[in-house]
Structure 1
């Protein structure tokens, strides 16, 4: 029997540029410098810049949980740990926070529309709890790569040899992709992929012609029908190949052929017949020279759905500060019950892609804000791509008033930045005292935020939703350094602090 060689689709996993640009690049380095005074944290002002001039990559803080499944490293694309752009390029071009926040508004508005479709404006307020059969986790080895089957023959500079548990050797190469928990169709740019229909990427384009395990999905097949009207794009008459399209609602889109190949998350863990989009045309920018999107939503076709039986219907990630590295891990760690604070996971039956949780309270400087739990009845989407946390207007108003009072020494307020209306000019202050803020979820799970998760480029990193009943968002700025476990099989979301 002929043994096919493999070349990877996914190796280094990073977050989308808009979500990642919101990170506070100096916060990791500053954590060892700031000290706590009662319910305040004193931190160097330079660390509150989203891209500090002196940031240096410090690598991983900790490895993923001991018995976690396949994992891959995850970095911010514009920080010093990123492999997608040079440090010099990042500093020279800077980051337009205003544009990033505009993208964030478009993204969250589109998700909010999907959640409220066909069920009225209150649809997101009555989510259906996800309770699927939980598969027992296995013992897994850590992974250092993710791959799609493809014969060798690309640039030798990115090839290496790995060995599987069966002793078969496979040549591998890397593709850098974007993590997205609010979409369902994974995809990568594939040849033929002419510019400008496709965008430049740092890794060689995936070439189906070089893969012995590649196969187009035929029209009329269950996998093609599963795309439905949301992602289906008809068929190719001459070849009877299934076509897909994904419109992200923020101006970005991809289209091409729906295919299968072998996805490798480590030398010993393979996902055969992995379904993904072979993209021949892309609209808009997904990140700096990345190859595509790794979709981890709760709907059909996502990586989670395709690996649910094998990996316990769970995954986790740790979003790092740009000066450190995070990770993405398939499956739930064996010690999850003792290491993670849990909150119930809910799903909207009309839009199962999205992961919904419920806040119960917010504390600032050790005091609980006077916001009734019912204020948060609309729920909030846990989203890897949303930038800042969006709260119901009444909750945001209470948070803003308390924060402005605590920061009165640094007034007057500076001009707003897009939807961030509580901003400060810290140029006269070498260090600032920031009040502690914590988000308290249903069940008591609490996110205790560090300064870089409270302020974004001198502004309070929270915003109001369009209305009191509108679904909110837990942004990736607030998720930083926590391992966030999406235990869909167990119906909960877990938080483990100081994981990256």
Structure 2
């Protein structure tokens, strides 16, 4: 998991630096949780079952005659939604829990024509045409996994009253690799690119979404599409930081500026210039990455507060680990992240350790982009407000 996470981080850093990654996309990384999550919709407020970092929707006719429930990864760092479709033999496709979507049974399905604007917008994800008619899509993930098939259109149903007409997605007929070791049908891409779910549903959900990653497998989280009117009373409970944008950066990734870190009530003795690079916040990055100078100060402060516990060998990129065998209760020093604009986010205890290790790692240099991982996001409601150019946080939301 951590190795895959490191590959994904490297890919995103290369893209942000303008490197050539036109033939690849970042694979999803997870922290191992498999909890049930509710999906809250702005109009109907109907819950749809799901799994941690995953949600279930239905592809095809909203009348239910050919709708198929699909469990998909929630990925705020990718742009092209896709699911496996018939035909998709197991020799070239991965197993999934849900029935494969069969385009032949849907009266609302159509393949995207090669000559269409939608096909042109695929950009680097376009993989030519089938019989000079049907637009083809394809990815090569950072771990070598691939997904290819027909770029398609159909009605996506998220609840009895929430239907996305003419939803564009990849209908994969072949995909292999470690990225697809989970029993999911595909990915709900929530990135900032033109092909993403967020952009396609701009008129319905206003390019606003939020989620809350639960603290443990026995807890519940949620994903919200849009901002329901009844949530207005909750606004004062959120803290906000600017959502950064730049014409020189790919629109896929959401970036914020980290200003300081507070451990056990004391700010780390780190010059503000150390945090000059932006940080990508994403649902599929597991471990937060900090500038090396900041990470070393965090590690020193954390270790100083944890001297009463036995240390353990490093695990992959995690170098501050503990053996809690026989320990009945653990007292961790508090950690708070301070973002641009003064937004101070206190991490939940579940957002500090990953299997006994401090869930942070350093980037290669202080000038490289950092990352806010999904471990640190546990129990927080994270609101991506694209038109408002803000990322908002609410503590103890799930």
TM-score normalised by L of structure 2 = 0.88
Find the aligned partners of 2:99 and 2:200 in 1 and give their Cα distance. 26
**2:393 matches 1:495:** yes
Contact 2:280-2:370 within 8 A present in 1 as well: yes
Shift of 1:374: 2.1
Q: Aligned with 1:103: secondary structure?
A: helix
Shift of 1:460: 0.6
**2:115 matches 1:220:** yes
Q: Measured at CA, do residues 172 and 209 of structure 1 come closer, stay the same or move farther in structure 2, by a change above 3 Å?
A: closer
Give CA-to-partner distance per residue, 1:163-196, whole Å, 9 cap, x none: x8xxx67664421111111110000000000112
Counterpart selection for 2:264 from 352, 359, 365: 365
Find the aligned partners of 2:282 and 2:305 in 1 and give their Cα distance. 29
Q: Describe how 1:263-302 pairs up with structure 2 within 5 A.
A: 263-284=156-177, 285-302=179-196
Q: 1:142 aligns to what? A: 45
Q: Aligned with 1:342: secondary structure?
A: strand
Q: Aligned with 2:222: secondary structure?
A: strand
Find the aligned partners of 2:381 and 2:391 in 1 and give their Cα distance. 10
**2:78 matches 1:177:** no
Contact 1:422-1:459 within 8 A present in 2 as well: yes
**2:116 matches 1:116:** no
Give CA-to-partner distance per residue, 1:14-68, whole Å, 9 cap, x none: xxxxxxxxxxxxxxxxxxxxxxxxxxxxxxxxxxxxxxxxxxxxxxxxxxxxxxx
Counterpart selection for 1:310 from 191, 194, 204: 204
Find the aligned partners of 1:344 and 1:253 in 2 and give their Cα distance. 35
> Unpaired segments of 5 or more residues in structure 1?
1-99, 120-137, 151-163
Find the aligned partners of 1:222 and 1:279 in 2 and give their Cα distance. 20
Q: 2:225 aligns to what? A: 330
Q: 1:73 aligns to what? A: none
Q: 2:35 aligns to what? A: none
Find the aligned partners of 2:339 and 2:157 in 1 and give their Cα distance. 35
Shift of 1:402: 0.4
Q: Describe how 1:305-454 pairs up with structure 2 within 5 A.
A: 305-321=199-215, 322-334=217-229, 335=232, 337-349=235-247, 350-411=249-310, 413-454=311-352
Q: Aligned with 2:254: secondary structure?
A: strand
Q: Measured at CA, do residues 399 and 384 of structure 1 come closer, stay the same or move farther in structure 2, by a change above 3 Å?
A: same
Q: Aligned with 1:264: secondary structure?
A: strand
Q: Aligned with 2:180: secondary structure?
A: coil
Shift of 1:310: 2.2
Shift of 1:223: 0.1
Give CA-to-partner distance per residue, 1:277-306, whole Å, 9 cap, x none: 000111213342111111000001100010
Q: Aligned with 2:304: secondary structure?
A: helix
Give CA-to-partner distance per residue, 1:124-174, whole Å, 9 cap, x none: xxxxxxxxxxxxxx9622133432214xxxxxxxxxxxxx8xxx6766442
Q: 2:27 aligns to what? A: none
Moved over 3 A (4+): 168-173
Cα RMSD between the aligned structures?
1.8
Give CA-to-partner distance per residue, 1:407-465, whole Å, 9 cap, x none: 11224x32110111011112142222211111111112222112221111111110001
Q: 1:53 aligns to what? A: none
Q: Aligned with 1:112: secondary structure?
A: helix
Larger RCO, structures 1/2 (Cα 8 Å, 6+ apart):
1
TM-score normalised by L of structure 1 = 0.70
Counterpart selection for 1:203 from 92, 95, 98: 98
Q: Describe how 1:20-169 pairs up with structure 2 within 5 A.
A: 100-117=1-18, 140-145=43-48, 146-150=57-61
Q: Aligned with 2:45: secondary structure?
A: coil
Please say which structure displays the higher CA radius of gyration: 1
Find the aligned partners of 1:380 and 1:308 in 2 and give their Cα distance. 25
Give CA-to-partner distance per residue, 1:462-494, whole Å, 9 cap, x none: 000111111011000000111110000100001
**2:378 matches 1:485:** no
Q: How many residues of Structure 1 are paired with residues of Structure 2 in the alignment?
A: 364
> Unpaired segments of 5 or more residues in structure 2?
21-40, 49-56
Find the aligned partners of 1:169 and 1:213 in 2 and give their Cα distance. 12
Q: Measured at CA, do residues 189 and 380 of structure 1 come closer, stay the same or move farther in structure 2, by a change above 3 Å?
A: same
Find the aligned partners of 1:139 and 1:185 in 2 and give their Cα distance. 23
